[in-house]
Amino acid sequence: MRDFQLNADGDLVDGNLAEDDESIAQSCKIALQAWKGESPLQPNRGADWHRLAAHAREQDVVSAVIAAISRVRGVSTFGITGVRIDPTTRVVSVDVQINGTGQTIDV
């Protein structure tokens, strides 16, 4: 599986292509950063991160992460190794192992 390579900000990197593991990690990041209601074509896609971060319930965040990553094509195994929630800034950071590769994804 190959895809366009994205930088940390989500912009294209000079037309380079991402290889298998990098492409899967990018797809997971995109899936996790989808906010519920932002897509007019798929209004139920994504998570309500404002609500999840404001109420700081780790189990709800873990459930949202599992739902998002489990739908990404190419993910054979994944595990959540850490979740940090800052209700003041409403930032959620998730540490995940996707197909054996560690990633930190901020939503």
pLDDT digits (tens, 9 = 90+) for 49-66: 888 888 878 899 999 999
Q: Which of 16, 19, 17 is nearest to 1 (CA)?
A: 19
Reading across the β-sheet that carries 78-86, which strands appear in turn? 78-86, 91-98, 101-106
> Helices H, strands E: what count in the chain?
3, 5
Per-residue pLDDT band for 1 (boundaries 50, 70, 90) equals low
CB 8 within 8 A of CB 29: no
The confidence band for 88, taking pLDDT boundaries of 50, 70 and 90, is confident
| Residue 72 pLDDT > 70 | yes
Tens digits of per-residue pLDDT, 4-32? 777 777 777 777 777 778 888 888 988 98
